[in-house]
């Protein structure tokens, strides 16, 4: 495992439409290990592969409900809405107010290629929506009602 550099807004990789994973191999496992180490070191709620320069449809989410590895994830239904604060490890020092669905259902594959579904609500749903947007080159600042600077020591 190794800690990876998190690319920042302005890097073109963050604007790519990421490719589906087709090989569920050791290389994917190594990518997931690096993403887990990096998101934990950065105290993030989630990280998408393009944020470490890899344009593949791979996301990790680290929330109260658990640690999730989502490969080729797709939102299959959504319900309600919530407006709240959001930040991104690729947009350091800023936060914004973003409206998201309150509840989402998603389909994804695990590291072995097996299909699963999940249901997420509240902050977990927000994290799923935020991270899946990264896979299509979308950042929260594209959707935020307002974006503001955080105090220097609090780099959400």
Looking at the Cβ atoms of 56 and 88, the one nearer to Co ion is 88
Looking at the Cβ atoms of 13 and 24, the one nearer to Co ion is 13
**Has 37 been annotated as catalytic?**
no
State which of positions 93-132 bind Co ion (CB under 5 A).
none
Residue among 32, 45, 49, 88 that touches Co ion (CB under 5 A): 88
List phi, psi (to 5°) of 40.
Answer: -70, -40
Q: Residue 147 and residue 58: Cα distance in Å, rounded?
A: 26
Question: For the chain, first and last CA: distance in Å?
Answer: 23
Q: Which residues contact 119 (CB under 8 A, 6 or more apart)?
A: 103, 104, 105
Residue 22 per-residue DSSP state: -
Number of residues binding to Co ion, judged by CB under 5 A: 1
Catalytic position from the list 69, 81, 107, 131: 131
Looking at the Cβ atoms of 82 and 113, the one nearer to Co ion is 82
Binding residues for Co ion, rule: CB under 5 A, are: 88
- The residues that are catalytic are 131
């Amino acid at each position: 495992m190794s800690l990876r550099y998190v690319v920042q807004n302005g890097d073109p990789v963050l604007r790519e439409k990421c490719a589906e994973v087709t090989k569920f191999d050791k290389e994917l496992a190594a990518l997931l290990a690096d993403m887990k180490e990096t998101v934990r070191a950065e105290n993030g709620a989630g990280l998408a592969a393009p944020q470490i320069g890899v344009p593949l449809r791979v996301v990790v989410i680290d929330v109260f409900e658990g640690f999730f590895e989502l490969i080729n994830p797709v939102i299959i239904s959504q319900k309600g809405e919530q407006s709240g604060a959001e930040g991104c490890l690729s947009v350091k020092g800023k936060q914004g107010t973003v409206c998201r669905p309150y509840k989402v259902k998603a389909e994804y594959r695990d590291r072995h290629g097996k299909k699963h579904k999940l249901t997420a609500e509240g902050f977990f749903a927000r994290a799923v929506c935020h991270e899946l947007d990264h896979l299509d080159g979308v950042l929260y600042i594209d959707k935020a009602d307002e974006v503001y600077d955080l105090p220097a020591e609090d780099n959400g």
